[in-house]
Amino acid sequence: MASTTFNKLGATTLEEIISNEVNVVVDATINFSLELENSIKRFRGDKVEFDHFLVNNGNVASTFDIKIYNWDQGEYDLENLEWISGNKSRTQFSDTLRREITLNPGERFDFRYSGSINEAEDDSITSIVNVEAVSREFGIRLLKRDSVYVLSGARIELNKSQSGSEEKLPNENFTYTIAGVNSGDVPALPRAGITIDGISSSKIILLDTIPSNVSFVEFVETTNGQQLYGMEGNGKYEFSSQLPSDPSTVSFIGLAFDGLSAGEEFSTTFEVQVNPGASEEITNKAEISYSDPEENIVVDAVSDEVKAFLPSNGATIDYFTDDSFGKKTGTSSIGRKLHLQATASACNEFRSRIDTATITLQSFETNDSEEFIGIETGVNTSLFRIEGGVNTRNAVDFDVIIGNTILETVEDDVIQAILNCDGINNGNLGGGQGARIQTTVVVDPYGIVFDSETNQPIRNAKVTILDVTGANNGGDAGGRAKVFETDGTTPAPSEYVTGPDGRFAFRYLETGTYKVEVETPEGYTFSSEVPLGLLPPGRKVDTLASYGNDWTFSNVPQGTNFDIPLDPQARGVLFTNKTVDRPTAEIGDYINYTITIKSEAINTVRNLFIDDLLPFGFEYQLGSTKLDGVKLQDPEGGKGPSLKFDVGDIEPGSNKELTYRVFVGPGSEKGKGINVAVAKSDEVVVKSSNEAKVKVEVRGGLFNDNSYIIGKVFQDCNENDMQDPGEVGVPGVRLYMENGTYVVTDSEGKYTFYAVKPNKHVLKVDNYSLPEGSKLSVLDNRHANDPSSRFVDVKKGQLHRADFAICECTPSVNDEINSRIEQLSQSNKDDLANSVNRSFAVNENNAQSGKGRFDNASGTVGGSTVKRSNVKSSPDGKPTTSEISDLVKEEELNSIQKLEDALLNAQNGVGFLNLVNNDTLTKNNYTIWVKGTAGTKLTLSLNGEVIDNSKVGQTSVSPTTKLQGSEYVSIDFEAGENILTLEEIDPFGNVRGTEGISVFAPGKASVLNLTAPIRNVPADGVSTALIRVEILDENGILVGDRASVTLDTEFGRWKVEDLNKEEPGTQIFIEGGVSEFELISTNQPKTSLVRANLGVIKS
């Protein structure tokens, strides 16, 4: 409010006027601040302090709660929090500091607190402390954070590597590289106790000891630091700054630094050379020594270990042919000096002087033992030799004296050399590992050719050694090997003929792959078939070399030191012949068999048995066996059919005769009547005779159970499934059985098949032979829904009837039937088969007919096999239903039963029953079984084209599995990969399931593959090699169609019938794409070239 005073004009008194009252409200100003925010770095164990202040910059007073505590987002907690100033109501050594303070406008509160870093804390982590002030009146929260990072100190990390691969060779140069970095957060400081050129100093020192059996060459590159050299005998930190004239005397190297700041890097590379005698592995690592300022202590850091590997199995001892030590050997001779060299880096204990080792020689046969000193060939070479070599002499002529420095030995002796030294005993790096190092040499090695049965030596065996690869005979792979005497230079024969002792010897062969061939004396075979464990004891038998297989000398040249077993000839030495007293018999007869055995074996054949397989229905008569006229116990097997007669032993050149009686029982007429007998010995080398066969023809007589099939093809104009008056039989209709036999109906439409085996059969009408325009109808369920074919179940001795009906009775059909009746009625002597062929030549599309005969009663009977008819096509190129004349093969007779069985074992769902994905067929025509849910429609596609339902031969339903199966007959596949797709469609046309597979079918034959699974056979004129012939298409798939192949051979003869003796070679048929044939060997060892031809295709 305002006022004023004044005098009125002419008045002497003052007057005052007051204005109206005005109210003004002044707002409070709230302005607080908290400072500072600190971040420091300290070592473990340090105490830290922080300053802060709180200011009231507003115009109102406020009371604050101050709180100091470790934040849980920190990596560790600061310990022993304590107020240093502003310490009213302070709490010492607490995890949380608290106090309250009231600040008027313009006032400031300064405070300080402290904390400690635990000495056990990790480095490189951070603690965070929250400093918080909260206004009670206004709820304002002020926050600052202090952080303390723990220093790691100086930390030098080393990494060591070597050049090239880990595999090194003696005399090879390579480099080591050492790289380092101070990864700590403070500088590394020098340490005391370093001597350089005799002067003591403080340095950071990098140290690397040169590994054993490696020599220093030079420093290659150093980024920083002083290069230093340590010699043998120096202290660990005693160095020279000058490279010696002989760098190989450097024992360790160093690199000196005055300091390394945080993050500073350094590296050095130096070259070394592997010593000539180094072996096993070379290990190396570097170390660095410095002072850490955190605790002012000396720290030693070590690099990772680096290894180099040398191509040697530790320490070794080698024999050499002479004192030049140029040729290693594993063989020697009596009277020749033994020259040995040991390579042992473990025995190279002192780099600067010549070392020695102990070498002991021991004889396995004479037990002589001599000890020698091996002297290192030079400083740091690791090679040790016996000066002057070791003298040997024959222990047959001299007494064995241990310790006379002469080794008494004998032929075929094995001399063992043993190396010993302190380095080996202590297991030093570089080889040995504390084990005894030894090697052997064979003195005058030889082998013996012996009888695998009697163990007796064999004379006149020609042993030839061959160089398999030709590596050592000038490149003649498989030719004779180069053989030397034990000196390694004097040529020796590569062929050896054994004497009475059976000996042969090839005493020095260079490293390589070899094999022996043996030309055996008469009566023996090579290689032996007797397993190692069954050979006579005491022989040196090698599982490879002794059996004529390839073997390898891989380390040093050696001599052959193995024996060779030869088997007495096992094949072609026993001959059996079997006869019977009558070639024909009827059921109920008795017949007598005679088996004659002759032995041409070189030794007595022990434990001879005869395995005899009687024909079906034949029974052995107990007590009827005689051997050479003397009664013999009954064979094993009772009455048969498998009999085993115990004949005993048979001497070389002798004969034995075995007789026995059998009864010809019921059912024997069903068999082939062939009896087979084989003589075989039960001994180490099994002797086996030829198969002796004899045949007895069994006549059924009154017990014949063949059957007959009769029937008629007739008109069924009213389709009541029977022939009514006025409905005539249809003549001239051809019907096939599954084996190709056919008949043609007579003038009344009747036909007969006789001598039919009781079984399930299939009859098929040749649609081409029907009157043009006619149509067949289904009479009963045996048609399987196909009126042109039917199943016929014939029982033993049964007269079975099977009819077919034509339901189309158009005038043109009737006229053709009447014409046929009239033609056949003209003469009963006409050849009806030829007449039918002439009448239907156009309709048959050049189909081939079988040969046959006919009469009025039984129609015309065709041949046992008939070629498949060609299918006539409709105008659009697709085969018509009535024109499909594919014949059912014999193996498909039981297809319904097999399909039903397959359905019973099948799993639910759509799929294939007789094919799986990636199947390979041998023919490009195949019958396919498919399955799906009962009641659905199955649609099969081949390569995207739906297969017509006319190809469905049958359909079966399994009530137990609720599955239905369909058989697609005679499906033609394309060469190569074919895609089959099966769809299951429900009654509403929806696809309920799909299954697809790939099937590979053969194309045209283009490759003839010839292999010999059994190729190495004795040259005895009896043994056989096995030759396998495969017919393949261009994709390598077997072509299963029957093909005529010509076999040819340089030597030997084929054990197979030549189908055309007028043509060169041996003519045979192959069906199924593959077959095996036996080639009978010659009487002399020969290598025969075998060929096969299929037209222009040659193997």
For 606-625, the pLDDT digits (tens) are 999 999 999 999 999 999 99
Q: What is the pLDDT of residue 833?
A: 41
User: Is residue 1057 a contact partner of residue 1067, using CB atoms and an 8 Å limit?
Assistant: no
Q: What is the pLDDT of residue 363?
A: 92
Cα–Cα distance between 109 and 436 in angstroms, integer?
86
Cα–Cα distance between 377 and 408 in angstroms, integer?
27
Q: What is the pLDDT of residue 436?
A: 57
What type of residue is 558? Q
In a domain, 630, yes or no: yes
3-state SS track over 207-247: EEECCCCEEEEEEEEECCCEEEEEECCCCCCEEECCCCCCH
The token duo for 221 is 């590159």
Q: Which CATH number fits the domain that encloses residue 203?
A: 2.60.40.740
Most confident of the following: 131-140, 286-295, 836-845 = 131-140
The mean pLDDT value for 208-216 works out to 85
Cα–Cα distance between 331 and 497 in angstroms, integer?
22
666 pLDDT above the threshold of 60: yes
- Integer-rounded Cα Rg, in Å, for the chain is 54
Q: Which CATH number fits the domain that encloses residue 394?
A: 2.60.40
Cα–Cα distance between 402 and 413 in angstroms, integer?
17
Q: Do 411 and 487 belong together in one domain?
A: no
Cα–Cα distance between 773 and 432 in angstroms, integer?
101
Q: Which residues are paired to 81 by β-bridges?
A: 94
User: Is residue 225 a contact partner of residue 206, using CB atoms and an 8 Å limit?
Assistant: yes
pLDDT in tens, 858-909: 333 333 332 233 333 333 333 333 332 233 333 333 444 577 778 878 888 8
Instruction: Classify burial at 548, counting beta carbons within 10 Å of its beta carbon; exposed 0-12, middle 13-18, buried 19 or more.
Output: middle
Which of 310, 327, 359 is the last residue before a domain boundary? 310
Average pLDDT of the residues of the chain: 84
Q: What is the pLDDT of residue 455?
A: 92
The mean pLDDT value for 92-109 works out to 85
Q: What is the pLDDT of residue 304?
A: 85
CB atoms within 10 A of CB 159: 14
Q: Is 681 helix (H, G, I), strand (E, B) or coil?
A: strand
pLDDT in tens, 386-412: 999 999 999 999 999 999 999 999 998
Q: What is the pLDDT of residue 983?
A: 93
In a domain, 599, yes or no: yes
The secondary structure element, H or E, covering residue 817 is helix 811-825
The token duo for 622 is 């107990």
Answer with the residue of higher pLDDT: 514 or 277. Answer: 514
Q: What is the pLDDT of residue 352?
A: 61
Q: What is the pLDDT of residue 313?
A: 54
In a domain, 835, yes or no: no
The mean pLDDT value for 363-374 works out to 93
972 pLDDT above the threshold of 70: yes
Q: Do 110 and 230 belong together in one domain?
A: no
Name the band, by pLDDT with cuts 50, 70 and 90, for residue 146: very high
According to DSSP, the β-strands at 173-182 and 191-196 are unpaired
User: Is residue 465 a contact partner of residue 458, using CB atoms and an 8 Å limit?
Assistant: no
In a domain, 20, yes or no: no
User: Is residue 308 a contact partner of residue 272, using CB atoms and an 8 Å limit?
Assistant: no
Q: Which residues are paired to 963 by β-bridges?
A: 933, 958
pTM of model > 0.95: no
Name the band, by pLDDT with cuts 50, 70 and 90, for residue 842: very low
What type of residue is 1097? I
Share of the chain above pLDDT 70, in %: 88
In a domain, 837, yes or no: no
Cα–Cα distance between 344 and 338 in angstroms, integer?
19
Is the link from the previous residue into 874 a cis peptide, with omega within 30 of 0? no
The mean pLDDT value for 704-729 works out to 89
Q: Do 180 and 252 belong together in one domain?
A: yes
From residue 580, alpha-carbon distances to 418, 644, 667, 798, 1014 in Å are 74, 18, 20, 35, 35
Instruction: Classify burial at 726, counting beta carbons within 10 Å of its beta carbon; exposed 0-12, middle 13-18, buried 19 or more.
Output: exposed
Answer with the residue of higher pLDDT: 662 or 899. Answer: 662
The secondary structure element, H or E, covering residue 819 is helix 811-825
Q: What is the pLDDT of residue 990?
A: 84
Cα–Cα distance between 503 and 333 in angstroms, integer?
17
**555: Cβ–Cβ under 8 A, 6 or more apart, which residues?**
328, 330, 511
Q: Do 175 and 245 belong together in one domain?
A: yes
Q: What is the pLDDT of residue 26?
A: 60
Total domains in the chain come to: 8
Which of 150, 177, 209 is the last residue before a domain boundary? 150
847 pLDDT above the threshold of 80: no
Q: Do 130 and 182 belong together in one domain?
A: no
pLDDT in tens, 787-796: 999 999 999 8
Q: What is the pLDDT of residue 1015?
A: 66
Q: What is the pLDDT of residue 703?
A: 62
Q: Which domain holds residue 786?
A: 707-829
Q: Do 662 and 719 belong together in one domain?
A: no
pLDDT in tens, 154-177: 888 899 999 988 888 888 899 999
785 pLDDT above the threshold of 50: yes
In a domain, 70, yes or no: yes
What type of residue is 1021? G
Q: What is the sign of the dihedral through the CA atoms of 1049, 1052, 1057 and 1061?
A: positive
- Can you tell me which residue has the tokens 């040991």? 342
763 pLDDT above the threshold of 50: yes
Name the band, by pLDDT with cuts 50, 70 and 90, for residue 831: very low
Most confident of the following: 19-28, 66-75, 231-240 = 66-75
Q: Do 282 and 410 belong together in one domain?
A: no
User: Is residue 697 a contact partner of residue 586, using CB atoms and an 8 Å limit?
Assistant: no
In a domain, 559, yes or no: yes
Q: What is the pLDDT of residue 549?
A: 94
Answer with the residue of higher pLDDT: 212 or 549. Answer: 549
pLDDT in tens, 1011-1069: 887 667 777 777 888 888 998 888 888 888 878 888 888 888 888 888 777 777 888 88
Q: Do 139 and 284 belong together in one domain?
A: no
Q: Which CATH number fits the domain that encloses residue 1058?
A: 2.60.40.10
- Can you tell me which residue has the tokens 């870093």? 117
Is the link from the previous residue into 36 a cis peptide, with omega within 30 of 0? yes
Extended strands (E) in 137-198: 141-150, 156-162, 173-182, 191-196
Instruction: Classify burial at 1006, counting beta carbons within 10 Å of its beta carbon; exposed 0-12, middle 13-18, buried 19 or more.
Output: middle
Q: Which residues in 964-994 are b (16+ Cβ under 10 Å) and which e?
A: bbbbbbbbebebeebebbbbbeeeeeeeebe
Q: Do 712 and 808 belong together in one domain?
A: yes
Q: Which CATH number fits the domain that encloses residue 691?
A: 2.60.40.1510
Q: Which residues in 782-804 are b (16+ Cβ under 10 Å) and which e?
A: ebbebbbbbbbebeeeeebebbb
In a domain, 857, yes or no: no
Q: What is the sign of the dihedral through the CA atoms of 195, 197, 199 and 202?
A: negative
Answer with the residue of higher pLDDT: 208 or 275. Answer: 208
Q: Do 417 and 548 belong together in one domain?
A: no
Q: What is the sign of the dihedral through the CA atoms of 663, 667, 673 and 674?
A: negative
Q: What share of the chain is helix, strand, coil (3-state, %, to 5)?
A: 5, 45, 45
Which of 443, 478, 509 is the last residue before a domain boundary? 443
Q: What is the pLDDT of residue 394?
A: 92
Cα–Cα distance between 494 and 648 in angstroms, integer?
44
User: Is residue 212 a contact partner of residue 257, using CB atoms and an 8 Å limit?
Assistant: no
User: Is residue 217 a contact partner of residue 272, using CB atoms and an 8 Å limit?
Assistant: yes
Q: What is the DSSP string of 248-275?
A: GGEEEEEEEES-B-TT-EEEEEEEEEE-
Q: Do 301 and 174 belong together in one domain?
A: yes
Q: Do 455 and 512 belong together in one domain?
A: yes
Name the band, by pLDDT with cuts 50, 70 and 90, for residue 1005: confident
Q: What is the pLDDT of residue 279?
A: 67
Q: What is the pLDDT of residue 634?
A: 94
Q: Is 246 helix (H, G, I), strand (E, B) or coil?
A: coil
